[in-house]
């Protein structure tokens, strides 16, 4: 056990002064430093000085490690152009994206304080890296395939991948989970079976939904930019299902829906009633020409995610928060900053079924220490100052163990 004291501690959305934590694998007590030292005189104390804040470990609920080799291979600016480039360059990216590349991506996330992340895996080649990383991983085995002929085969492969990711999962701090690629790329029978698998086994569930205007038009009318795409690659001239049919399959099972930049009010209301979450990926949405998620008008709980290098230039969660801060210019920056910090702590953890993301008695001792350049006595500014002036964290604990931060270039 150890005691840690910090100038500020982020507890339940507030910045508290004059407190310290007693922790082992879990947080055991929260009190004044003098009280904890009096009760536990033989326990070593870690004194975090300077202008710093002790946060719960940050959560990045949606990242594609498999595409970590991309820098300037894929085309940005328009979702369809990007999609064509993904298909053209997929083999190159998978070949270049070896375990060392994916390992560096994990280290980059760690440097910015991400202690838990959701890995979207389409082929299982990232499983070894996700097992060996020091972070906790929600391992989303992804179902993709719009052909009725191959739906059963794809599902059987999905079950096998889930089974493989379950082996020694506790020892590896890895949680098996299920991902659905999107309503336009999954056959209804495959969708029903994959969602059913998550329900039966109580696994976290996520799905891309309404990322682009092309998806909206294709699902609603069977026309638009997706029409020639599906005709060329799949010989189809209509979608396999509509948006409503897709969402019905998730009813009664809280799900993390990703992007949702073109979700309708009716769909958002359905998510709200269902206890769902939305993963907001502002830089990915901008680079792929998908528009802005109007978070000021959305009542579904929103978490922040980096997506992968396939549609981003870093996996740094501070970079993502700064972009969100500038993108949502109609929201007061102080209140938006508070919301963004909450989105990568408590809300982010809840969105993937994790018990982390909070500093309270009984919570996992996943914590990060952030140093600010100057002392600030105004707690209303601390979220904003953290986002504006931080690139990396200074110290990390996962399950109470201090983790060595990567040294040098990690991306």
Q: How many CB atoms are closer than 10 A to CB 347?
A: 21
CA distance 137 to 17: 31
Instruction: Name the 3-class secondary structure at 192.
Output: helix
Question: Among 121, 119, 229, 152, which Cα is nearest to 184's?
Answer: 229
Topology (CATH level 3) of domain 2-56+359-403: Urease, subunit C; domain 1 (2.30.40)
CA count, 13 A, side-chain hemisphere, 57:
34
User: For residue 25, what pLDDT is reported?
Assistant: 98
- Give residue-wise pLDDT tens across range 365-405: 999 999 999 988 899 999 999 999 999 999 999 999 999 99
Number of Cβ within a 10 Å radius of residue 87 = 11
- Residue length, the chain? 411
Cα separation of 356 and 23, whole Å?
14
For the CA atoms of 62, 245, 292, 316, what is the dihedral angle to 10 degrees? 0
List beta partners, residue 171: none
Contact call for residues 245 and 188 (beta carbons, < 8 A)? yes
Across the chain, mean pLDDT equals 97
Q: Phi then psi for 59, rounded to 5 degrees?
A: -120, 130
CA distance to 37, 98, 209, per residue, from 23 (Å):
13, 37, 40
Helix (H, G, I), strand (E, B), or coil: what is residue 229? helix
Residue 411 confidence (pLDDT) above 60? no
Q: What is the pLDDT of residue 166?
A: 96
Query: pLDDT band at 107, cuts 50/70/90?
Result: very high
Identify the pLDDT of residue 57: 98
Phi-psi region of 66 (alpha: psi -120 to 50; beta: other; left: phi over 0): alpha
Rounded to two decimals, the pTM is 0.97
Q: What gap in Å lies between CA 320 and CA 316, rounded to an integer?
A: 7
Residues 322-351, mean pLDDT to the nearest whole number: 98
State the pLDDT confidence band at 410, using cuts at 50, 70 and 90: low
Q: Nearest-5° angle of CA 171, CA 174, CA 178? A: 145
The percentage of residues in the chain with a pLDDT greater than 90, rounded to a whole number, is: 96
The Cβ of residue 153 has, within 10 Å, a number of other Cβ atoms equal to: 12
Catalytic residue among 66, 107, 142, 211: 211
DSSP 387-407: HHH-SS-SEEEETTEEEPPP-
CA nearest to 61, candidates 402, 249, 303: 303
State yes or no: is 152 an active-site residue: no
Query: Per-residue pLDDT tens for 144-202?
Result: 999 999 999 999 999 999 999 999 988 999 999 999 999 999 999 999 999 999 999 99
Contact 56, 395 (CB under 8 A): no
> What value does the mean pLDDT take over residues 341-352?
98
Over residues 22-35, the pLDDT tens digits come to 999 999 999 999 99
> At 302, which helix (H) or strand (E)?
strand 302-304
pLDDT tens-digit readout, 238-290 = 999 999 999 999 999 999 999 999 999 999 999 999 999 999 999 999 999 99
- Residue 10 in tokens: 């982020």
- On whether the CB atoms of residues 186 and 225 are closer than 8 A, the answer is no
Cβ atoms of 59 and 302 within 8 Å: the answer is no
Taking the domains of the chain in order of start, what are their residue ranges? Answer: 2-56+359-403, 58-351
Burial code of 204-234, b = ≥16 C-beta within 10 A, e = fewer? bbbbbbbbbbbbbbbbeeeebbbbebbeeee
Q: Do 58-351 and 2-56+359-403 have the same topology in CATH? A: no
Q: Work out the pLDDT band at 50, boundaries 50, 70, 90.
A: confident
58-351 fold: TIM Barrel (3.20.20)
Share of the chain above pLDDT 70, in %: 99
Residue 408: band (very low, low, confident or very high) from pLDDT cuts 50, 70, 90: low
């Amino acid at each position: 056990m150890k005691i840690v004291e910090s100038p500020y501690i982020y507890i339940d959305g507030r910045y508290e002064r004059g407190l310290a934590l007693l922790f082992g694998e879990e947080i055991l007590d929260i009190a004044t430093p003098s009280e904890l030292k009096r009760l536990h005189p033989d326990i070593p104390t870690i004194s975090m000085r300077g202008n710093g804040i002790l946060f719960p470990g940050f959560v990045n609920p949606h990242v594609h490690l498999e595409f970590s080799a991309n820098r300037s291979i894929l085309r940005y600016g328009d979702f369809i152009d990007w999609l064509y480039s993904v298909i053209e360059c997929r083999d190159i990216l998978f070949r270049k994206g070896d375990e060392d590349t994916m390992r560096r991506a994990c280290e980059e996330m760690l440097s910015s304080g991400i202690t838990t992340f959701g890995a979207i895996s389409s082929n299982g080649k990232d499983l070894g890296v996700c097992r060996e990383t020091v972070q906790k991983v929600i391992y989303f085995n992804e179902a993709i395939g719009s052909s009725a002929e191959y739906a059963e085969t794809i599902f059987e492969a999905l079950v096998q991948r889930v089974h493989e990711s379950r082996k020694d999962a506790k020892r590896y701090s890895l949680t098996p989970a299920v991902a659905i690629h999107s309503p336009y790329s999954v056959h209804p029978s495959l969708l029903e079976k994959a969602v059913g698998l998550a329900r039966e086994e109580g696994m976290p569930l996520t799905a891309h939904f309404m990322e682009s205007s092309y998806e909206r038009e294709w699902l609603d009318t069977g026309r638009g930019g997706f029409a020639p795409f599906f005709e060329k690659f799949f010989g189809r001239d209509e979608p396999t299902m509509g948006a409503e049919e897709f969402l019905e399959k998730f009813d009664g099972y809280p799900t993390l829906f990703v992007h949702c930049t073109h979700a309708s009010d009716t769909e958002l209301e359905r998510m709200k009633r269902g206890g769902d979450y939305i993963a907001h990926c502002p830089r990915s949405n901008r680079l792929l020409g998908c528009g802005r998620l109007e978070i000021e008008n959305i009542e579904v709980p929103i978490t922040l995610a980096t997506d992968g290098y396939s549609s981003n230039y870093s996996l740094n969660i501070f970079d993502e928060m700064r972009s969100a801060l500038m993108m949502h210019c109609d929201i007061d920056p102080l209140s938006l900053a508070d919301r963004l910090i909450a989105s990568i702590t408590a809300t982010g953890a809840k969105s993937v079924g994790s018990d982390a993301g909070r500093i309270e008695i009984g919570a996992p001792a996943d914590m990060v220490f952030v140093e600010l350049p100057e002392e600030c006595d105004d707690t209303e500014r601390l979220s904003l100052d953290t986002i504006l002036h931080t690139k990396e964290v200074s110290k990390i604990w996962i399950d109470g163990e201090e983790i060595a931060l990567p040294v040098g270039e990690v991306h």
